[in-house]
Chain A
Amino acid sequence: MANYSTNDFRPGLKVLLDGEPCSILENEFVKPGKGQAFNRVKLRNLNSGRVWERTFRSGESLEGADVMDRDMQYLYTDGEFWHFMEPDTFEQFQADAKAVGDAHLWLKEQDECIVTLYNGAPLSVTPPNFVELEIVETDPGLKGDTAQGGNKPAKLSTGAVVKVPLFLSNGEVIRVDTRSGEYQGRASKG
């Protein structure tokens, strides 16, 4: 991979730092008028998700990290791995629980998601922003109660638990924002 100097550090650039793949979030050039120049760089460690700040001498460089985001279709899980496929090439990838993280709560078979590859292997999985999932377990719906506030927990087919309005019942399909885990509405009838 290419080397990048502090002058090239832009948000989104993927670099290797202490052997870990990182994404640059911010890069601030700091220099006293008569002193030495530094760059204060905020990074996210793509392995751990941790965000931190490291100071570099200006002009120092880091090796680029072979990290890329690919659109893939989620196929199935065998309990140990989650399997994904690139729709164009039919190439398949398997991701372990660490790479999938909390995304497993939102993965429905056939849905498109983003798989981040590091040196060709899945590093993390980002579900679509909105998913439609079936309610499998919730208290019986209250007929007619469509206007009042109030909500109850509902377990979805993927295992996620979200708060839903009181009138919903088992078997109904709802739309959820995966970034906040919030109920958005009933799914449009297909």
Chain B
Amino acid sequence: MDWQPSAGLDALRERAALMQRTRDFFARRGVLEVDTPLLCSAGVTDPAIENLSVERGASLRRPRYLQSSPEYAMKRLLAAGSGPIWQLAKAFRDGEAGGRHNPEFSLLEWYRPGFDLEQLMAEVAALVLECLGERPVEYTSYRELFRRELGLDPMLADLAELRERARREIDTGNIDGDRDLWLDLLMSHLVEPRLAGRGLCFVFDYPASQAALAQVVPAGDVEIARRFELYVDGMELANGYLELLDAGAQQQRFTADNRKRRERGQPERPLDDFLLAAMEAGMPACSGVAMGFDRLLMLASGRRDIREVLAFDWSRS
């Protein structure tokens, strides 16, 4: 029986040091550390994320969901007047396992009332540079990035053009789907690898169809989602939003997600009525971000595989 940890003890010491550094960072900035439940009555509607659930137990009237991120609970704290908050939480995503994924992982998530996306990106950069040491930082819009790396306009190119471009460079077999599928393929297969060796790359202002829980605003000839992703050494590290505040719009997105789930044959998810009620009561204007803490540790310690920074990876836990 291989009972030994998947990470070396030196990696575990580096994890402890990184956690301490993170605590210090937020303490200095007056951001409150919080701790929200992992097992909740509502799951996530996002069709790209599947929850794990707990089905049986005397305390359960219905199945409960292991949280894929502490987002909904933290937004309820914001609506209750918490002010800026942060959390290092365990999160769970079904079916995500590989060199950069583990179904159970650590998310560093924080919310900043009164911050716009630019202020939050600057704070993310400050934390990451403190953990990794000095590196160049660049900011590129999603549209500009696609134009620069692929010579394609991701906002206006039609489905056939995106598909043709992907199929020319990637053997995609019989994969087919909507514009977003082809944009995701181009991003993950062709664009991401070209961000390696460029330091911290913030990509911001995504297509409106990929808004998730970010605000959508008009920008010239198109609409954009006020969202950013941070890539370091070609690896996606963090995902931030100018948060949607309107309860009605939030409910529409949940419903649209469930419609997409139905079309794709995925289970629909109950809406989080707690979150909707909190947003109805009023959430302060804010920006928020979720960062893969295990990946931050991979970058800080120069390790290429997530299993090398987890005490016990999925196969050993």
- B-binding residues in A (CB < 8 A): 7, 27-38, 40, 52-59
B173 within 8 A of A: yes
* A29-B97 contact given A35-B180, A54-B171, A55-B171, CB 8 Å threshold: yes
Contact partner of A59 (CB less than 8 A), chosen from B95, B97, B177, B181, is B95
CB < 8 Å: which of B95, B99, B171, B189 contacts A58?
B95
Cα(A33)–Cα(B98), bound, Å:
14
Are B101 and A36 interface neighbours, CB within 8 A? no
Interface check B32, CB cutoff 8 A? no
Are the CB atoms of B48 and A36 closer together than 8 Å? yes
Q: Which of A7, A33, A35 contacts B97 (CB 8 A)?
A: A7
Q: Is the CB of B239 within 8 A of A53?
A: no
Contact (Cβ within 8 A) B173 A34: no
Chain B positions 131 through 174: 1 when the CB is less than 8 Å from some CB of chain A, otherwise 0:
00000000000000000000000000000000000000011110
Tell me whether B250 is interfacial, beta carbon within 8 Å: no
Highest count of chain A CB atoms <10 Å: which of B46, B48, B181, B212:
B48
Give the docked Cα–Cα distance between A131 and B311 (Å). 46
Interface string of B75-114 (1 = CB under 8 A from A): 0000000000000000000011111110000000000000
- Closest Cβ–Cβ distance, residue B71 to chain A (whole Å): 12
Known: A34-B227, A56-B173. 6 other contacts (CB 8 A): A29-B97, A30-B98, A33-B239, A35-B180, A37-B96, A55-B173
Minimum CB–CB distance from A14 to chain B (whole Å) comes to: 18
Query: Please, which residues of chain B bring their CB within 8 A of the CB of A30?
Result: 98, 188-189
> Is residue B208 contacting chain A, with contact meaning CB distance below 8 A?
no
Bound-state CA distance A59–B239 (Å) is 24
List chain B residues, Cβ under 8 A from A33.
Answer: 229, 236, 239, 290
Instruction: Indicate if the CB atoms of A7 and B95 lie closer than 8 Å.
Output: yes
**CB nearest to A5 among chain B residues:** B95
Which of A28, A34, A36, A40 makes the CB contact (< 8 A) with B239? Answer: A34
- Please tell me the number of chain B residues within 8 Å of chain A, measured between CB atoms: 30
Known A-B contacts A54-B171, A55-B170; A35 and B99 likewise in contact (beta carbons under 8 Å): no
Contact present for B101 and A57 (CB under 8 Å): no
Question: Which residue of chain B has its CB nearest to the CB of A58?
Answer: B95
- Name the B residues within 8 Å of A56 (CB-CB): 173, 175
Contact B171 A53 (CB under 8 A): yes
Q: Which residues of B contact A37 (CB under 8 A)?
A: 48, 95-96
How near does chain A come to B190, taking the closest CB pair, in angstroms? 11
Min CB–CB distance A168 → chain B (angstroms): 47
Contact A36 B173, beta carbon cutoff 8 Å: no
Which residues B164-222 have CB closer than 8 A to chain A?
170-173, 175, 177, 180-181, 183-185, 187-189, 210, 212
A56 to B171, CA, bound (A): 9
Residues of chain B with a CB closer than 8 A to A27's CB: 98
Q: How distant is the Cα of A30 from the Cα of B175 in the complex, in angstroms?
A: 15
Closest to B184 in A: A35
Provide the bound-state CA to CA distance between A27 and B97, in Å. Answer: 11
List 9 interface pairs A-B (beta carbons < 8 Å), by A numbering. A29-B96, A29-B100, A31-B188, A32-B48, A32-B187, A33-B239, A36-B177, A36-B180, A54-B171
Interface string of B21-62 (1 = CB under 8 A from A): 000000000000000000000000010100000000000000
List, in ascending order, chain A residues with CB within 8 A of B97's CB.
Answer: 7, 29
Are A57 and B236 in contact, with the CB atoms below 8 A? Answer: no
Which residue in B99, B100, B210 is a CB contact (below 8 Å) of A34? B210
Q: Which residues of A contact B229 (CB under 8 A)?
A: 32-33
Q: How far is the CA of A57 from the CA of B174 in the complex (A)?
A: 9
Q: Which residues of B contact A38 (CB under 8 A)?
A: 175, 184-185, 188-189
Beyond A55-B172, A55-B185, whether A32 also contacts B236 by CB under 8 A is yes
A35 with B48: in contact, given A54-B171, A55-B171 (CB under 8 Å)? yes
**Across the interface, do A32 and B173 meet the contact criterion of CB distance under 8 Å?**
no
**Residues on A with beta carbons closer than 8 Å to the beta carbon of B212:** 34
Within the complex, the shortest CB–CB distance from A57 to chain B, in Å, comes to 5
CA distance A40 to B185 in the complex (A): 11
